[in-house]
Amino acid sequence: MRKLESRNILGEAADCLHRVMQPVAHIIHNIGYVFLTLMMFLVFSDVMLRYFFNKPILGSFDVTELMMGVFIACCLAYCAIENGNVKTEVLVERLPVRAQEIIDTVTSFIGLIFFSLITWQSFIQAQSAFDSQVMSAVLHIPTFPFVAIVAFGCFLLTLVLLSDFLTFLSKALKK
């Protein structure tokens, strides 16, 4: 009976976290695509100005580099929610269902720990960038806000991975 109660609590917690994270990840994902669109127009304009008028946009590399980090960070959690990440299931899918559930639980736990550490270090890096006033090379744009966005994107991914771990653990404890 105790196992059944823990499974229900874990499953309910995972479902609740997933319901909260899905719309948040979708909104952040759309923000990421705005940055991708802006980055695309910037690169296109830079290439055209460079080719036709021999006048490139000063600092376009700096801005593109910073916007790329924002775009990737904004899309991490949404990709995980939509299961858009790469999985190699060639061997695992041939195992019994119980073994698959255990492997899913272990790998999701490893991913959760890994991205928890990345999130923690990203926030430390953001604080360091703020304290030391790190700036981009050409335009001298402060990098702190961009590093903070990357840290926030990693935090959202960590929450999605926590939801996945609780889901897999609930399934593994089912039997």
Residue 162, beta-bridge partner list? none
Tell me the one-letter amino acid at 8.
N
Cβ neighbours around 84 below 10 Å, total: 9
Residue among 28, 9, 122 nearest 81 (CA): 28
Q: What is the mean pLDDT of the chain?
A: 90
Q: Which helix (H) or strand (E) holds 92?
A: none
pLDDT of 24: 94
Mutual orientation of helices 2-53 and 144-172 as an angle, nearest 10°?
Answer: 150
pLDDT of 130: 95
* Rounded CA separation 12/102 (Å): 19
Question: Can you read off the two tokens belonging to residue 24?
Answer: 């948040």
List pLDDT tens digits, range 47-75: 999 999 999 999 999 999 999 999 999 99
* Rounded CA separation 120/142 (Å): 21
Q: How confident is the model at residue 171 (pLDDT cuts 50, 70, 90)?
A: confident
pLDDT of 6: 53
